[in-house]
């Protein structure tokens, strides 16, 4: 098979090279030993691109009450157990990392922050989506409460059901990113993540960690970045 000589390769325009990329990729994927590495690099490139294109001030669509599905039609979705049996009376959120006020925070302290109510779309990577009614405190307001260093790159959370997740700071600071403690005007029930979960309409559903127990502000993520991401899902997971 003919190959491009070095001189011709140097004269190819960027656009022509981009046209060749799909052909080269298909050929590479035909070699089984190259597939895992290519897939990993492809997901990393997708995450990088999504992060660069993210617009922190651009709102996700807010919908009228008439568009919200009945609470009974909002699916319960869980990776392990529907109810990890959190002791709601003694629950606290452990805060650590790049903050001036680390320690244990109660639900009442979070609820004392300005409440945001929003009707937004929850999109699951499994192929379904639903419009729900959510209430809670902006994560940005909570970051101010705990004295977080907002130049940090990430937050990382851990959950009572052993789920874990991490999120880029730009997405965390989005005005619709919530520490959610209500759905449909009522406290979260156990199946939907009581007493506290993430709710970010700019992200896919698997980023919306439930049953929060630990909240860390950090510049360095541990190797375990997210439960599904560690199994091959995209990390940025933007919409």
What are the φ and ψ backbone dihedral angles of 79, each rounded to 5 degrees? Answer: -95, -20
185: left (phi over 0), alpha (psi -120 to 50) or beta: left
Residue 135 has a pLDDT of 98
Q: How far apart are CA 25 and CA 41, in angstroms?
A: 12
Domains and CATH numbers, the chain: 7-52 (no CATH), 57-231 (3.90.420.10)
Positions of the chain with pLDDT under 70: 1-57
Nearest to 199 by CA among 122, 129, 124, 125: 122
Residue 120 has a pLDDT of 98
**Two tokens at 83?**
């109810």
pTM greater than the 0.95 cutoff: no
pLDDT in tens, 126-142: 999 999 999 999 999 99
Residue 47 has a pLDDT of 54
Residue 13 has a pLDDT of 45
Q: Which residues, in sequence order, are bridge partners of residue 105? A: 93
Q: Is 193 helix (H, G, I), strand (E, B) or coil?
A: coil
pLDDT in tens, 162-193: 999 999 999 999 999 999 999 999 999 999 99
Nearest to 180 by CA among 189, 170, 169, 167: 189
Which residue is associated with the tokens 């660069």? 52
Q: How far apart are CA 92 and CA 87, in angstroms?
A: 10
Q: State the number of CA atoms in the 13 A half-sphere of 127 facing the CB.
A: 0
Per 3-state DSSP, the chain is made up of helix, strand and coil in percentages (nearest 5) of 30, 25, 45
């Amino acid at each position: 098979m003919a190959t491009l000589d070095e001189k011709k390769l140097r004269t190819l325009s960027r656009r022509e090279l981009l046209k060749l990329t799909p052909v080269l990729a298909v050929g590479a994927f035909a070699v089984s030993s190259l597939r895992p590495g290519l897939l990993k690099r492809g997901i990393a490139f997708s995450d990088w691109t999504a992060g660069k294109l993210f617009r922190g001030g651009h709102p996700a669509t807010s919908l009228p009450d008439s568009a919200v599905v009945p609470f009974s039609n909002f699916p319960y979705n869980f990776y392990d157990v529907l109810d990890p049996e959190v002791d709601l009376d003694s629950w606290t959120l452990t805060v650590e990392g790049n903050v001036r006020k680390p320690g244990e925070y109660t639900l009442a302290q979070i609820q004392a922050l300005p409440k945001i109510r929003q009707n937004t779309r929850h999109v699951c990577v499994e192929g379904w989506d639903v419009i729900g009614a959510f209430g809670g405190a902006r994560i940005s307001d909570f970051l101010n409460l705990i004295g977080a260093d907002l130049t940090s790159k990430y937050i990382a959370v851990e959950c009572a059901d052993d789920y874990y997740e991490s999120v880029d700071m730009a997405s965390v600071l989005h005005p619709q990113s919530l520490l959610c403690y209500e759905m449909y005007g009522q406290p979260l029930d156990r199946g939907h993540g009581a007493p506290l979960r993430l709710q970010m309409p700019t992200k896919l559903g698997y980023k919306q960690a439930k049953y929060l127990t630990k909240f860390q502000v950090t510049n360095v993520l541990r190797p375990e970045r997210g439960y599904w991401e560690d199994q091959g899902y995209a990390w940025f997971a933007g919409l």
